[in-house]
Structure 1
Amino acid sequence: MTEKPHINGIMAQIGRIREHAALFIEQELKNEEIHGILPAHGIVLFFLFEQHHPVAMKEIVEKAGRVKSTVTGMVNTLEHHGYVEKFQSPEDGRVILVQLTEKGRSIRHAFESISGRMLDKLYGDMPQADRVKLVDQLTQLLQNLKGA
C-alpha cells in the first residue's frame, strides 16, 4: 500500500512560506519608505511597470489570475495611495483603464530590488535546476486544483 503524504504537509508549508515572504516584503517596503502597498499588490504593479499605455482592468485581472473583485480592490487601494489612476475609456465608457502615476513609476527600481532580494532569500543556494523543477511541480499542483 502506498503511503499518502500528509495533506497538511504541502498546504501548511505553502502557507508558512507565503507568510514569511509577506513579512519579508512588508519590512523591505518599510525600509524603502514605500507606504500603502501590500505584497499582494506586486502582481498588479509588475504588470503595470511593463506597460507603456493605459490598460483595461480586464487585462490586469487576466494577468493576475485572481477574481475581478480582488483585483479591483487592489487597484482601488493603489489609486487611493496615489500609485495608479483609473479612468473610463474614451472609446467605450464601460471599460475602465488603469495606468501608473508618476509616484507609481518612481517606485519601480525599489520594487524590483525588493523582488530580487526576496528571490535570493527564498532560493538561497538551491541549484538552478532544482528551482526550475520546483516551479514546474508547483505549477502542476495548481493545474491539478484548477482541473486542467
Structure 2
Amino acid sequence: MNDKYIIYFISRTKANMIKFIENKLKENKLNDLIPTHGNILTALYESEKSLTMKEIAKKIGKDKSTVTSLVNKLADLGYVKKQKCEKDKRVTYIVLTNKAREIEDTFNFISSQVKETAYSDFTDEEKKEFLRLLRKLSTNFKNANN
C-alpha cells in the first residue's frame, strides 16, 4: 500500500472543506464570518447557555489564546458579547447576541451541507469506520506530542 501521500490528502481535504464553507458563507450573505468562527458558534448554540473561554477552548480543542482571538472578533462583529461573572470578576462568560440567534438556522443549514457533502456516497458503516480511523489518527499525534 502506498501511504506516503496521507499528509497531502489530509491537507487538501482541509483546504477544500474550508473553501466550501467560505463559499457557503458568502452565498448566505455571512461574509463577515470565517470558517473557524463556526466552532465557537457551534459550541455556544449547542450549550444553550453562556460559556467561559476555558469551556469553549475545551469543547473545540483549541488553546485559550486562539479562542480569545476568535471570540474578540465575533464580539467586534456583534455575534457575541462578554459578561463578567458577578461572583468572580476574573471569569468572563461569552453569550450569543440576537444577531447570532438570527443566523442560527442559516448556520445550521450550512453545517448540514458540509456534512452532506463530506459523507456523500458513504454508507453508514463507512461513516463509522472513517470517524473511528480519524480519531485514532488524531490520538496518535496527540500522544506523540505529549
What's the TM-score, normalizing by structure 2? 0.93
Of the two structures, which has the highest relative contact order with CA contacts closer than 8 Å and spacing of 6 or more?
1
- Which runs of 5 or more structure 1 residues have no equivalent in the other structure? none
Alpha-carbon distance, 1:4 to partner: 7.2
Q: CA RMSD in A?
A: 1.4
Task: String of CA shifts for 1:36-92, please: whole Å, max 9, x gaps.
Answer: 211111111111012333221111011011111111111111111100001211110
What amino acid is the match of 2:48? Answer: H
Give me the whole-angstrom Cα distance separating, in 2, the residues matched to 1:35 and 1:104: 14
Give me the whole-angstrom Cα distance separating, in 2, the residues matched to 1:77 and 1:89: 21
**Which segments of structure 1 move beyond 4 Å, counting only runs of 4 or more?**
none
- Choose which of 103, 106, 120 in structure 1 pairs with 2:99: 103
SS at match of 2:13: helix
Residue number in structure 2 paired with 1:5: 3
What's the TM-score, normalizing by structure 1? 0.92
Q: Percent identity?
A: 35
Contact 1:83 1:100 in 2 (8 A): yes
Give me the whole-angstrom Cα distance separating, in 1, the residues matched to 2:28 and 2:49: 27
Alpha-carbon distance, 1:118 to partner: 1.2
Residue number in structure 1 paired with 2:45: 49
- Which runs of 5 or more structure 2 residues have no equivalent in the other structure? none
Matched length: 144
What amino acid is the match of 2:137? Answer: L
